């Protein structure tokens, strides 16, 4: 694979995946070919962060590469076949997703490992991440208070801390295991800004006091896992200062074993945000690797939908 020499971390990941899975080379080439320099630069920063995390995983980068292939072939592909045949996701309730996915520790480890590499190798994921870094974070004012709900690998928190402009950074998750993994990842990445990691169910959070609200809230790839995304956004908005910003990132037409709410388009994502009482400031759609947005919309292919909203209250 030919990746610009200065982007050595990306080259390391691409080369390792290409060696282990040569049939995937064409897909990766199409994914990288459609990226402008600002997107490639964020992918390089992401790749460097992933390489810092890899040694903490048994068998390191090789395990990530194997789990990425497992994600593509054994997790996503069967769900995609079901979606194409039935026009809907296979599961429809959180209880089902919990039973099949979240309660299965070994499966979730491999699933999450694979998703880690997808942020670099899948065009829609890479563009959405770049939008967060290059467009959303610069909008936050000096001293802003920032909350992420469902921090996952901790990479969004990592980039938020790297701005050096936020007075408070916090994250909530319902899983003690996830909180522990996020904390460990931030430590490996050398994040020295204090990050408040709290075991907190968004729906169970008490109404905040006037001095407990945030200027910025991020919910990336969270709402598709819930039965009522409108209710989740309303619950989150209670914690947002009047005029505060909320960045929502959801996949449309993107089957996965724990996706239960089907977003059908960027317009649908915007509609859900407005139904929650938020004002849409900007919305961007990023199609899957190797296709145009027009074709992705026409054929209901996977699209990452990023919606920037404001609390009008």
In the listed set 82, 103, 121, which residue is the last one of a domain according to the structure? 121
Q: Report the mean per-residue pLDDT for the chain.
A: 95
Residue 296 lies in a domain: yes
171 shares a domain with 105: no
Structural domain span for residue 306 = 123-310
Sheet strands (E) in the chain: 144-149, 166-173, 195-199, 214-220, 240-252, 279-287, 303-310
138 shares a domain with 214: yes
Residue 3 lies in a domain: no
Question: Helix, strand or coil for residue 172?
Answer: strand
pTM to 2 decimal places: 0.95
Lookup: tokens for 46: 């992401």
What percent of the chain lies above the pLDDT cut of 90? 93
Band (211; pLDDT cuts 50, 70, 90): confident
Of 224, 157, 233, 232, which Cα lies nearest the Cα of 194? 157
pLDDT of residue 1: 38
Residue 58 lies in a domain: yes
For 255-272, how does the pLDDT look when each residue is reduced to its tens digit (9 = 90+)?
999 999 999 999 999 999
143 shares a domain with 24: no
Name the H helices within 87-136.
94-97, 105-121, 123-131
Lookup: tokens for 78: 């069967």
304 shares a domain with 222: yes
Residue 2 lies in a domain: no
Residue 1 lies in a domain: no
111 shares a domain with 201: no
Query: Which residues have CB under 8 Å from 115's CB, separation 6+?
Result: 71, 152, 153
302 shares a domain with 158: yes
pLDDT value at 195 more than 70: yes
Rounded to whole angstroms, the Cα distance separating 186 from 195 reads 9
**Structural domain total, the chain:** 2
Stretch 93-112: mean pLDDT: 94
Domain CATH for 133: 3.40.50.150
Which DSSP symbol is given to 150?
A: S
230 shares a domain with 110: no
For 135-170, how does the pLDDT look when each residue is reduced to its tens digit (9 = 90+)?
999 999 999 999 999 999 999 999 999 999 999 999
129 shares a domain with 252: yes
139 shares a domain with 117: no
152 shares a domain with 295: yes
pLDDT of residue 5: 46
279 shares a domain with 192: yes
For 24-80, how does the pLDDT look when each residue is reduced to its tens digit (9 = 90+)?
999 999 999 979 999 999 999 999 999 999 999 989 999 999 999 999 999 999 999
Of 6, 11, 249, which Cα lies nearest the Cα of 135? 249
pLDDT of residue 207: 78
């Amino acid at each position: 694979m030919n990746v610009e020499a200065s982007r050595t971390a990306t080259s390391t990941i691409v080369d390792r995946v290409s060696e282990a899975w040569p049939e995937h080379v064409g897909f990766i080439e199409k994914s990288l070919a459609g990226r402008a320099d600002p997107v490639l630069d964020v992918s390089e920063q992401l790749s460097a962060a992933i390489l810092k995390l890899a040694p903490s995983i048994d068998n390191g980068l090789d395990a990530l590469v194997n789990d990425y292939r497992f994600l593509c072939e054994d997790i996503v592909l069967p769900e995609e076949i079901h979606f194409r045949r039935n026009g809907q996701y296979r599961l429809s309730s959180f209880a089902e997703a919990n039973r099949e996915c979240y309660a299965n520790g070994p499966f979730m480890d491999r699933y999450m490992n694979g998703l880690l590499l997808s942020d670099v190798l899948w065009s829609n994921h890479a563009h959405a991440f770049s939008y967060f870094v290059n467009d959303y974070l610069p909008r936050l004012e000096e001293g802003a208070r920032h909350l992420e709900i469902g921090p996952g690998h901790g990479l969004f928190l990592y980039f938020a801390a790297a701005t050096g402009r936020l007075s408070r950074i916090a994250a909530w998750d319902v899983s003690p295991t996830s909180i522990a993994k996020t904390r460990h990842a931030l430590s490996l990445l050398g994040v020295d800004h204090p990050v408040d990691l709290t075991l907190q169910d968004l729906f169970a959070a008490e109404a905040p006091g006037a001095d407990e609200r945030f200027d910025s809230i991020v919910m990336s790839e969270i709402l598709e896992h819930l039965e009522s995304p409108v209710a989740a956004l309303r619950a989150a908005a209670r914690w947002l200062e009047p005029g505060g910003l909320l960045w929502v990132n959801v996949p449309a037409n993107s089957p996965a074993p724990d996706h239960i709410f089907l977003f059908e388009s960027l317009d649908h994502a915007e509609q859900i945000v407005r139904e929650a009482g938020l004002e849409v400031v900007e919305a961007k759609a990023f199609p899957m690797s190797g296709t145009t947005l027009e074709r992705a919309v026409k054929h209901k292919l996977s699209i990452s939908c990023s919606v920037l909203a404001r609390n009008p209250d």
